[in-house]
Amino acid sequence: MTDVAVVGGGPVGMWLAAELHRGGARPIVLERRAERPPHSKALTLYPRTLELFAMRGIADRWLDEGTALPSSHFAILTSRLDFTRLDTRFPFTLFLPQLRTEQLLEEHLASLGVPYLRSHTVTGLRQDADGVEIDALTPSGPRTFRAAYVVGCDGAASKVREAAGIESAGTPGTWSTVLGDVELADPPPERALTLNLPGGSMYMVALGGGRYRLAAIDHAALDDLTDAPVTFGELRRNVRRLVGTDYGMRETADAWLSRVNNATRQAVSYRSGRVFLAGDAAHIHYPAGGQGLNLGLQDAANLAWKLAAVIRGWAPDGLLDSYQSERHPVGLEVVEDSLAQCALFANPSREGIALRDRFSKLLGTHPSLNAELAVRLSGLGVCYPDGGRRVPDLALRGAPAASVFGLLPDARFVLLGLDGGGPEPAGGGPAPAGGYGGRLKVVPAALAEDRADWAGVRAVLIRPDGYAAWSCGVGDPAAEPPLARWLGDPVPGLNAVGPASA
């Protein structure tokens, strides 16, 4: 029996499996496709996703190939969001086709030795008190796998969600738009362009090699709600109707065309017993702002260390329940955010166009509004009720790494002291970190940068996913970090890892 069967080998499933392995679990990935599609739905990686990769020491693989842009868009408005002022080492939008992200993640997974089984189509599952049986069609015929837990990362039409009886609530599609990756002979000079026009809106971004992603929100074609494949002529007509030119659009055999609608749903629960959901299996929405891929990767980062802790036998009571309480509200925020964006760009009435144009002006003239939306879109603003705020990649002195993320590659908790003398709680005395070997690193350090928001923090307990589970300020009363609450019961004689081996 394997520890976790991850159903769906897209980016969310692969990242989840990699994080489970890093946490000490034994996952397998069951992927129904024999090979990856040659085209990419998503293009955008946001700062928080890059931070997750940086915590594990692999962000450079994406940075070396992607194109960094200092802005992003909200609701395809002409006034773009400024990412350059974000509190992160990655203050930009990184454009890299999803296909390449999947290839990089598959290489990462292979380096860890995690089994990735192609042409394995899951057809059903059954739970009992000790595990889950998964039925699958494989190249060698029907087969039943058994795992302690199952995570459905199998997309909007999730078989895992259906088999587990989890309701997906929301609204069906009522309008649709078209997009495509095509060659342009006469493109605009900008690498990324958003246009608001009387007949709708358009988004364009350079992919390299003369190819561009064009998304046309043509108000005259919104009601064409059909499952018929998009034709090259349809995309060309929509673009010409909006902007008066097709930018020298060339019909090539490798052009990718797609139709998307505003169907919006979210799983009522992300868990049913031993079965969990992540990514599009848990939530779908119109791809406004490219948030879906990033949201799913962050679901995986949240769930993996908790599930690994349960499998290894040290998780405190209720830890797995926190996946639902932490990630469901975040998913709902993104769902509502996408609906709000749709209301701005897909309302062809005079009132709707006036609202779109007025909001675009406000976004361009009110820096605080621009900054707030940039933080939300980037994923940096996520804060969990009990898990605390995100810990940025603070520069450190006297630590075994130059910054916080360098302490997190092995996905263990870190008890970080920021006064240079060790992570003692206010009031004196060493932090009670004994008995947590393999789960916790204790690292004394000092801040090596001027950070007013962190200058008064004396010690912080950092979760494997980079959020603060607890912190203690210089003037706080004597307190001990709540290690048992987050790391379970200590084992006598099992000491935490010190800085020399961190």
Tell me the two tokens of residue 127.
């739970």
E strand residue ranges, 236-373: 249-250, 256-261, 264-267, 271-272, 275-277, 283-284
How far, in Å, CA of 271 to CA of 460, rounded? Answer: 30
**pLDDT value of residue 497:** 57
Are 215 and 318 contained in the same domain?
no
Residue 30 lies in domain: 2-43+97-171+264-327
Question: What pLDDT is attached to residue 410?
Answer: 95
Look up residue 228 and give its DSSP letter.
S
Give, in degrees to the nearest 5, the angle at Cα 132 between 319 and 37: 90
Domain assignment present for 386: no
What pLDDT is stored for residue 496 in this prediction? Answer: 55
Distance from CA of residue 221 to its chain's centroid? 31
58 close to 108: Cβ distance less than 8 angstroms: yes
Structural domain tally of the chain?
3
Co-location of 166 and 123 in the same domain = yes
Q: Examine residue 457 and state whether it is found in any structural domain, yes or no.
A: yes
Residue 418 shares a structural domain with residue 494: yes
Instruction: Tell me the pTM.
Output: 0.95
The greatest distance separating any two alpha carbons of the chain, rounded to the nearest whole angstrom, comes to 74
In a domain, 270, yes or no: yes
How many Å apart are CA 72 and CA 91, to the nearest integer? 11
Residue 272, domain CATH: 3.50.50.60
Which one, of 314, 316, 307, 319, lies nearest residue 437 by Cα?
314
Residue 482 sits in a domain whose CATH number is: 3.40.30.120
Could you tell me if 231 and 114 lie in one domain? no
| Same domain for 274 and 184 | no
Q: Assess if residue 342 is contained within a domain.
A: no
Mark whether 138 and 245 lie in a shared domain: no
228: CATH: 3.30.70.2450
Q: What is the DSSP letter of 65?
A: T
> b/e map of 45-83 (b: 16 or more CB within 10 Å)?
bbbbbbbbbbbbebbebbbeebbebebbbbbbbbbbbbb
Q: Is residue 23 part of a domain?
A: yes
Task: Please choose, from the candidates 213, 126, 152, 148, the residue with its C-alpha nearest in 3D space to the C-alpha of residue 177.
Answer: 213
Please list the ranges in the chain whose pLDDT falls under 70.
Answer: 420-433, 478, 492-502
Give the end of a domain, one of 261, 281, 311. Answer: 261
Helix, strand, coil percentages (3-state) for the chain, rounded to 5, are 30, 30, 40
Q: Is residue 451 part of a domain?
A: yes
Same domain, residue pair 407 and 482: yes
In single-letter form, the type of residue at position 485 comes to: R
- Distance between CA 378 and CA 291 in Å, rounded? 9
Give the pLDDT confidence score for residue 375 in this predicted structure.
97
Shared domain for 298 and 255, answered yes or no, is: no
Q: Is residue 92 part of a domain?
A: no
Domain identity same for 16 and 130 = yes
Q: Is residue 411 part of a domain?
A: yes
Phi, psi of 80 (to 5 degrees): -90, 160
379 φ/ψ angles, rounded to the nearest 5 degrees: 85, -5
Instruction: Indicate whether 191 and 143 sit together in one domain.
Output: no
Tell whether 447 and 485 lie within a shared domain: yes
Do the beta carbons of residue 457 and residue 418 sit within 8 Å? yes
* Residues 382-396 pLDDT 10s: 999 887 899 999 999
Q: Rounded to 5 degrees, what are φ and ψ at 12?
A: -70, -45
Domain termination site, one of 214, 243, 261: 261
pLDDT at position 284 is 97
Find where tokens 């001027």 sit: 450
* Phi, psi torsion values for 339, nearest 5 degrees: -65, -40
pLDDT score of 502: 36
pLDDT at 409: 97
Query: How far is C-alpha 162 from the geometric centre of its chain's CA atoms?
Result: 23
The reported pLDDT for the residue numbered 494 is: 57
Cα gap 460→404, rounded to integer Å: 11
Q: Which residues contact 256 (CB under 8 A, 6 or more apart)?
A: 38, 39, 40, 180, 181
- Tell whether 322 and 270 lie within a shared domain: yes
How long is the chain? 502
Distance CA(312)–CA(3), nearest Å, equals 10
Residues 496, 416: contact at Cβ < 8 Å? no
CA–CA distance, 455 with 474 (Å, rounded to integer): 9
